[in-house]
């Protein structure tokens, strides 16, 4: 899942499709803005609904976004019309290849992250960044030994401190806030910048 960055917040607002996927040394990025989907009416080479693709091998461009205007198939257009115009009833999904967006939209997904994640030695490989804030009720304190024990237990069980604290603080005077965001191991979105006009 960490290899597919389809996070809406990391792509421009006018994107209908925007995601970057990585496998070993290969990285693919797909992009379709509203103007791409409508077709560029002032051009003869891209006046149809289309998308762009970029591919990199070992960080070097193999296919650039500007190389092609790839037309959508009729079924693609039907699907896009459904999930853009009927978001309340139709949900776009990649099935077994779901990306980060599906995980972050789901409460079960966030719980799963907490329950199954474990610390990594190199943060560059981390799928998630988990930050935890623990606060005592006003006028009360939190026993520092409880926090120290949670850190020790997390290390012994190879779990996140957040998951241990969540369980330990359930019936105490403390509240816990856990923030989960994409980690450094998630590929950076490859945003299309400008357009080179072909002659």
Task: Check residue 91 and give its pLDDT.
Answer: 75
Three-state DSSP state, 189: coil
Return the closest-CA partner of residue 130 out of 155, 168, 106, 162: 162
Task: Check residue 194 and give its pLDDT.
Answer: 60
Return the closest-CA partner of residue 187 out of 17, 55, 80: 55
Alpha carbon distance 23, 20 (integer Å): 10
Alpha carbon distance 114, 92 (integer Å): 25
Task: Check residue 1 and give its pLDDT.
Answer: 77
Task: Check residue 36 and give its pLDDT.
Answer: 96
Can you give the pTM of this predicted structure?
Answer: 0.80
Low-confidence ranges of the chain (pLDDT < 70): 94-95, 194-199
Return the closest-CA partner of residue 4 out of 15, 18, 20: 20
């Amino acid at each position: 899942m960490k290899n597919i960055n389809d996070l809406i917040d990391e792509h421009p607002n006018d994107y209908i499709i925007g995601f970057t996927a990585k496998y070993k040394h290969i990285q693919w990025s797909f992009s379709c803005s509203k103007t791409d989907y409508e077709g560029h009416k002032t051009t003869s080479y891209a006046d149809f609904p289309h998308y762009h693709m970029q591919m990199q091998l070992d960080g070097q461009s193999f296919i650039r976004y500007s190389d092609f205007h790839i037309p959508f198939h009729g079924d693609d257009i039907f699907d896009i019309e459904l999930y853009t115009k009927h978001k309340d009833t139709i949900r776009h999904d990649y099935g077994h290849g779901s990306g980060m967006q599906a995980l972050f939209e789901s409460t079960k997904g966030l719980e799963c992250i907490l329950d199954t994640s474990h610390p990594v030695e190199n943060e560059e490989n981390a799928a998630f960044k988990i930050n935890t804030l623990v606060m005592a009720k006003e006028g009360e304190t939190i026993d520092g030994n409880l926090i120290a024990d949670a850190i020790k237990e997390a290390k012994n069980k190879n779990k996140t401190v957040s998951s241990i604290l969540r369980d330990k603080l359930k019936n105490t005077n403390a509240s816990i806030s856990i923030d989960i965001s994409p980690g450094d191991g998630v590929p950076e979105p490859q945003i299309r910048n400008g357009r080179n006009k072909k002659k």
